């Protein structure tokens, strides 16, 4: 991931302004430590902090067309750049960068070329012939992007809040799948898939078509000129990413440069569920596996850095970002610059445990649509910024546009969880890769219950966070919370603790408004909380809050254990703050 910052039409072309833009751009240097570039045209400034993945030798930015009249600063990867180059036979490209096609596509097609791009991207394009500009963000919001407005009439664009929060009167998240045109003076959506209307699809489930679409999504993400690997938690999604990558790596240009044996990476507390499962998958696939342990104290010590880099106070995002942040540092230290990850599958297929309570296929489908639309505020934001903090790029094949179109066209009746019929969460995805003749994964991994990343790294991680927050936030502070934090008022001490840190770094009201809020259970939207009346009394984003579903649920597991119906190997994962009593004795928590 790179970092981009643009100041457009600021009525100030002085050296002092240039120095200020450089200063702000350096706040994004962690995203792109390989090179820096700044282009100035009057009072228009386009800056870039580069993480070199494709053509490291000559792909420095900003990029230009032949006569340098069109200038582009880009963060992202364009996976179909080779095909796009072939469609532009009359154009001369200056570099081998995948992003070099953007300026030339604009020359050829005007503003309507964005939908031709297959990849993840945020970019600013300046046409110096008339000083017009466009800004665009990828379909789902895999890359982070913000837009701000200055009192002088300027428009600011930045990959992160910290690039513009001190200089803009107002700023907000740039919406995914949108384009800003200075000629039209506003935003318009360029990404308009059928599923976006939330109409209920009816395409029959075709497991082989789904499998093929995912394999194609993974293969195109093997485009790299630098060492890479996969993030492997041992859950279904990351294990499928690893399996498909390992299966197709041989024979690729990446394998020729860096070897055909895949590297995999996992993080967790000692003896955590993820570490054990990931080790087993890695052994099965034959990857070079790297396992990183962290302690609860390690994570707590990193919280302030995590909030500064991830730029949120959302509880579940911070819980999951912290181990990913720690792991990314270790991965980068090994010389790896790109990883492939499994974000997005739970949103597309209804994989979170609260989907067990979906009342019907219509509600399930609408909830998956809502979840995908919000990914840029949650898992995409986490994956992008936790890795970019250390100059590491994360690619997410489940969020491939073509794959999403196929997966979201399936009649949602197939996604309904029906345990009596042997259909657990994400059954359609599991079934698509259940190949008896040439197995992708061991059966028990293929059908492993969903673990949220913040849970799978070790249950005591979340318990430790709650205990730490309770030491810093007292009851009186909670009583006054609604007067201090009027927007998204924290309802737990953990949330209050994160909010205090966030506002120290980002005190502006605009920053507060970039973070989503509302009730949630096990990562649900506020609307899905209505599916079960009991959930309103247990609003926690952990998967263990899905009472009656998770094998290690906060309440259910202790009750089952007391009745002697939980296997002993599961008891070791009980939250540390819960006492399991003997049969007939009340449970205390």
3-state secondary structure 364-433: HHHHHHHHHHCHHHCHHHHHHHHHHCCCCEEECHHHCHHHHHHHCCECHHHHCCEHHHCECCCHHHHHHC
- Name which of 473-477, 491-495, 552-556 the model is least confident about: 552-556
Mean pLDDT throughout 447-454? 71
| 2, 99, 266, 369: the active-site residue | 2
Percent of the chain with pLDDT over 70: 90
| Res 576 pLDDT > 60 | no
CA distance 38 to 40: 7
Q: How many CB atoms lie within 10 A of CB 501?
A: 18
| Res 235 pLDDT > 70 | yes
Average pLDDT score, the chain? 91
| Res 484 pLDDT > 70 | yes
Mean pLDDT throughout 275-279? 94
Q: How confident is the model at residue 541 (pLDDT cuts 50, 70, 90)?
A: low
| Res 455 pLDDT > 80 | no
Q: How confident is the model at residue 546 (pLDDT cuts 50, 70, 90)?
A: low
| Res 291 pLDDT > 80 | yes
3-class secondary structure, 179: strand
What's the pLDDT at 456? 62
Mean pLDDT throughout 500-507? 98
List the binding residues for ATP. 231, 267, 341-342
What's the pLDDT at 462? 93
> Sheet harboring 155-158: ordered strands across?
35-41, 44-50, 3-8, 155-158, 146-149, 170-173
Q: For residue 85, is it left (φ>0), alpha (ψ between -120 and 50) or beta?
A: alpha
Q: What angle do CA 562, 563, 564 make, to 5 degrees?
A: 90
Quick: pLDDT tens for 126-177: 999 999 999 999 999 999 999 999 999 999 999 999 999 999 999 999 999 9
What's the pLDDT at 434? 97
- Name which of 12-21, 185-194, 253-262, 304-313 the model is least confident about: 253-262
| Res 582 pLDDT > 70 | no
Quick: pLDDT tens for 362-373: 999 999 999 999
Q: How confident is the model at residue 534 (pLDDT cuts 50, 70, 90)?
A: confident
- Of the CA atoms within 13 Å of residue 156, those in its CB half-sphere come to 27
Q: Cβ(440)–Cβ(247) under 8 Å?
A: yes
Mean pLDDT throughout 299-305? 98
Residue 369 annotated among the catalytic residues of the structure: no
Quick: pLDDT tens for 63-93: 999 999 999 999 999 999 999 999 999 999 9
What's the pLDDT at 549? 67
| Res 589 pLDDT > 80 | no
List the binding residues. 98, 231, 267, 341-342
What's the pLDDT at 538? 73
Q: How many residues does the chain have?
A: 589
What's the pLDDT at 586? 29
Please tell me the pTM assigned to this model.
0.91
Token duo for residue 87? 């469609």
Token duo for residue 136? 């665009």
What's the pLDDT at 459? 77
More confident residue, 95 or 566: 95
What's the pLDDT at 4? 98
| Res 457 pLDDT > 90 | no
Quick: pLDDT tens for 35-58: 999 999 999 999 999 999 988 888
End-to-end CA distance of the chain: 43
What's the pLDDT at 529? 93
Mean pLDDT throughout 322-327? 97
CA distance 443 to 427: 13
- Name which of 219-223, 258-262, 321-325 the model is least confident about: 258-262
List the binding residues for L-glutamine. 98
């Amino acid at each position: 991931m790179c970092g981009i910052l643009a100041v457009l039409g600021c009525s100030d072309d002085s050296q002092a302004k240039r120095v200020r833009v450089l200063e702000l751009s350096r706040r994004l240097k962690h995203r792109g430590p390989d090179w820096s570039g700044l282009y100035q045209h009057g009072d228009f400034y386009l800056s870039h902090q580069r993480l070199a993945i494709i053509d490291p030798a000559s792909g420095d930015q900003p990029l230009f067309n032949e006569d340098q009249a069109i200038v582009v600063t880009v963060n992202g990867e364009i996976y179909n750049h080779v095909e796009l180059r072939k469609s532009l036979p009359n154009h001369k490209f200056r570099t081998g960068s995948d992003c070099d096609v953007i300026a030339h596509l604009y020359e050829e097609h005007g503003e309507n070329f964005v939908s031709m791009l297959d990849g993840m991207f945020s970019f600013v394009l300046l046409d110096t012939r008339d000083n017009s500009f466009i800004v665009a963000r990828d379909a789902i919001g895999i890359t982070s992007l913000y837009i701000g407005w200055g009192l002088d009439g300027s428009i600011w664009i930045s990959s992160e809040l910290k690039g513009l929060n001190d200089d803009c009167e107002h700023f907000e998240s740039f919406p995914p799948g949108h384009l800003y045109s200075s000629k039209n003076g506003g935003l318009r959506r360029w990404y308009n898939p059928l599923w976006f209307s939330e109409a209920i699809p009816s395409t029959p489930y075709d497991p082989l078509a789904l499998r093929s679409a995912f394999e194609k999504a993974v293969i195109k993400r093997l485009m790299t000129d630098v060492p890479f690997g996969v993030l492997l938690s041992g859950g279904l999604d990351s294990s499928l990413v690893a399996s498909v990558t390992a299966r197709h790596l041989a024979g690729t240009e990446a394998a020729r440069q860096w070897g055909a044996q895949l590297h995999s990476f996992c993080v967790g507390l000692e003896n955590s569920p993820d570490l054990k499962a990931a080790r087993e998958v890695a052994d099965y696939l034959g990857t070079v596996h790297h396992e990183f342990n962290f302690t609860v104290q390690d994570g707590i010590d990193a919280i302030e850095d995590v909030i500064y880099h991830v730029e949120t106070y959302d509880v579940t995002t911070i819980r999951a970002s912290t181990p990913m942040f720690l792991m990314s540092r270790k991965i980068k230290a090994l010389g790896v610059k790109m990883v492939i990850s499994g974000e997005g599958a739970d949103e597309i297929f209804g994989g979170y445990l609260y989907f067990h309570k979906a009342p019907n296929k219509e509600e399930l489908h609408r909830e998956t649509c809502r979840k995908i639309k919000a990914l840029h505020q949650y898992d995409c934001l986490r994956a992008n910024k936790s890795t970019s903090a250390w100059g590491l790029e994360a690619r997410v094949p489940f969020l491939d546009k073509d794959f999403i179109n196929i997966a979201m066209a399936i009649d949602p009746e197939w996604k309904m969880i029906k345990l009596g019929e042997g259909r657990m969460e994400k059954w359609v995805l599991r079934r698509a890769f259940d190949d008896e003749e040439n197995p992708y994964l061991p059966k028990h991994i293929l059908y492993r219950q969903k673990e949220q990343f913040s849970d799978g790294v070790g249950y005591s991680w979340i318990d430790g966070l709650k205990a730490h927050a309770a030491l810093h936030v007292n009851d009186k502070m909670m009583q006054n919370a609604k007067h201090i934090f009027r927007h998204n008022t924290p309802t737990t001490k953990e949330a209050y603790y994160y909010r205090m840190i966030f506002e120290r770094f980002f005190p502006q009201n605009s920053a507060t408004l970039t973070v989503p809020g509302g009730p949630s259970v096990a990562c649900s939207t506020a609307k899905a909380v209505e599916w079960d009346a009991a959930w309103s009394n247990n609003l926690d984003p952990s998967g263990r809050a899905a009472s009656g579903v998770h094998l290690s649920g906060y309440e259910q597991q202790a009750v089952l254990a007391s009745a002697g119906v939980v296997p002993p190997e599961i008891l070791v994962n009980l939250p540390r703050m819960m006492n399991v009593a003997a049969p007939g004795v009340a449970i205390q928590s």
